[in-house]
Structures are given as structure tokens and as C-alpha cells.
Structure 1
């Protein structure tokens, strides 16, 4: 089911949007705490975002830019601010479309459907990020972010962290990690895996993620 996230401060407009989105068979949700807009986006993993410009704390341009640092998910601005400069700013920040308030619900749903068809007809609908306890692994550029700090990972470091974060709370054996790396034709023996794990831990520690990866002696590694 396609998921739509609403970032709108007016409760009445928000409820009308949500009602129509769900009526059309999509799963809808909205931001309640606007200081946590990015975290809500990461947790909900929407396929499309409806974003107002005038918001508490930070405006829609700010949140659009933050989302674009992590994802290429389609963003439709829905706003009463309709000057040429507002529209240009919205597009330059990474918006895919702009709807002026007051708007027609039929037009809104038609635009949502059109963007979903264009974006997801021939591609996977998986999220562009994996998140755990504030650590955000970007699947597009192999970067890890934590508390506004970013670190670049090597190919093997990325694959190791990806499999551990996808299985958070579970012990992943060394053999399973090595098999995952071998699938990409990168031969990794036991010693090489240890070196990669140590380098990865150092990078995690540099951005404040001390002890993010734990060793289970005789079993493997776990993130919890």
C-alpha cells in the first residue's frame, strides 16, 4: 500500500487530506510534533509527502531540504503562499509539484496518483534509508548520519552495517555477513571481516555512536 505523509499545520485541512487519501486506498499519516518532522518521515517511510510552507519552528523549504538529503521521495508543496518566488524556491529545494490553497481535492488526488504512477511504475517502493535509534543509513550514497554528523562508508562497511541494521536486535553470524559480501564478488576472509568491522566501529565512534555494534562471542555481531 502506498503511504502519504501530510506536513500541514491546519488541523481541518490535515483531516480533510487524510480522509480523502484513505478513501482512495492509500495509507495516510501526518506530523504532530513539527520539531520531529524528519524523524516522522524516517519512521513512516512514505512514498509521497504533502508539504506546506508555513509551519511552526522551521518552514517547508527547510524540511524539504532535509528530506532531500536522505531521499528522492516525491514532494508536493500545498500552500497559500503562491508568489513566483515561493514556487521557484519550492522547486529549487527539491519539490516535484506545487498546489495553491484553497485547492480542489480532486486535483490533489489526481496529482498524487500521477506522481505515484511516474515514480513507482517501474521501480521498487522501498525506502531510501534505514534508521535505528537516530542513526540513518542512506542507501543511495552509502553515508551514515547521526546527530547532524555524516560519515562516508566503504562498499564493504556499508554492506556490513546494512545487514546489521536490517536485523537490529538479532545476532548476525560472521558467516552470514561474509556470504553477503561474497555475493557481490568481493572475497572477504575472516581476517578481512575483522579489519572491516574495526574500521567501521572507529567511524561510528567518530560521530558519537560508541558501542553501536556489539560482539557476541562465538555467535557474531548485534546492534541493539
Structure 2
């Protein structure tokens, strides 16, 4: 599939072999590593995507992802976490570290292949799309690069926080109910509770400084990004 290179990192050697066989059958070039240490010895920047197990030896998948995101050469390499840890906090941790997707074990190989293709497709579309920037006074959002700046300084947002802010900035003045936010941001993720939406919005308000006050609660209706 367009000579995409994928790195599978998991301490279960049998699982690595199964994933490698099936992904190669789909036309991908695949390499495997049985630990984060082994993976980090490779030229990570040369891969188009990493399938990364969370629970490994001395260096966990989360730690490896953190290392990659801090390196300018590898910070944009897409990561899909493969893990038996599927609590809400674990999922949020994964996305906070910049994960592009999160697949809980046990999983079907068809699901993994489909998710890999979906992430690669999104990355390609983002690279080909013209730069799109949404600005409200000193708050700037680069849609393609998934970056937010506050008065010129970078703001670190989780994937969900970014998508919530994007929804608000692109629809300034419009009130969104919790159900609408759920359907647009979380889509088919069935584990989400109302409090999860509230917690994400509370964190988002704090991270965007003075503009946090623009995200207002309309009792009985939902949330809105008000224009001064």
C-alpha cells in the first residue's frame, strides 16, 4: 500500500509475527521489535506508522511515545497503541501523549488493519490539505498541524480538548448540547459519560487562559464559545 513502512513494537513475539504477516499481506513493509529499547535503536523517522504495545519491560509504550514526541525527527510519526489497559484514564493518557488511535486487546486483525489504513489516510489527507488556521484574538489554532497558540506561545492540548476547541472556534456563538459534543468529538466511543465532557471542557478553559471565560455554560442547553 504505497510502500508504507510500519513498525510493530510488542513483547509478545507471536503477536508481532501475526501482525507482520497480515499487514504484509495488505502490501505494507513491516519491521518488528520486541521491546522499546530495540525499537529506539531503529531509524524511527523512516517509518510511516508505529503499532505500539503499552505494557512492556523497562520502557513502557507510554514512555517510548513520550520520547518520540520530544524528538523533532520523530514527533510526527503516527502511533497506534495496542494494549490490554483500557480504562478511561489509560485511554486519555495515550491521547495526551499524541496517540493517533488506541486499540484494546484482545482485538481482531481485521480491525487493526482497518485502523492502520484509516490513520494513514488521515495523515495523507492532512499533508495534502491547504493550511487551515482559525484565529480568535490571541488564540490561534492550526487545524492541519494540530497546534494551538496563546499569544504566540504553544498550548498543549489532548486530542479531545483540541477537537472541542476546534468545534467551538469554527462555530463561535453557537450553543452545543452535550449530546452534540459527544457525537462530534467522541463519535462511537460508548464509554463516555457526561462528566467526561465536563472535565475536558474544564481543563480546556484553564489551558487557554483568559479565553477560557469565552467558553460559557448555558444551563439546560449546553456549551457555547461567546464572542466579546
Q: SS at the partner of 2:50?
A: strand
Alpha carbons of 1:41 and 1:29: their partners in 2 closer, same or farther (altered >3 Å)?
Answer: same
Per-residue deviation, 1:33: 5.1
Matched, 1:61 2:62: yes
Contact 1:38/1:66 (<8 A) preserved: no
Residue matched to 1:187: none
Aligned counterpart, 1:75: 79
Whole-angstrom distance in 2 between the partners of 1:35 and 1:73: 17
Match of 2:213 in 1: none
Kept after mapping to 1: 8 A contact 2:50/2:77: yes
TM-score (norm. length: structure 1): 0.52
CA RMSD, aligned part only? 1.9
The 2-side partners of 1:41 and 1:110 are apart by 25
Which residue number in structure 2 is paired with residue 112 of structure 1?
116
What's the CA shift for 1:36?
A: 3.6
What does residue range 168-207 of structure 1 map to in structure 2 within 5 Å?
none
**Residue 100 (structure 2) pairs with residue 96 (structure 1):** yes
Q: Contact 1:5/1:41 (CA < 8 Å) preserved in 2?
A: no
Q: TM-score, length-normalised on structure 2? A: 0.51
Structure 1: any 5+ residue segments left out of the alignment?
Answer: 125-139, 141-224
Cα separation, 1, equivalents of 2:24 and 2:15: 14
Q: How does 1:18-29 map to 2 (within 5 A)?
A: 18-29=20-31
Q: Which residue of 2 aligns with 1:11?
A: 13
Unmatched tracts of structure 2, length 5 or more:
129-144, 146-228
1:80 to 1:122, Cα distance in 2 relative to 1, 3 A: closer
Moved segments of 4+, more than 4 Å: none
Q: Does residue 53 of structure 2 align to residue 52 of structure 1?
A: yes
| SS of residue matched to 2:21 | helix
SS in 1 for 2:127: coil
What CA distance in whole angstroms lies between the structure 2 residues aligned with 1:98 and 1:28? 19
Larger Rg belongs to: 1
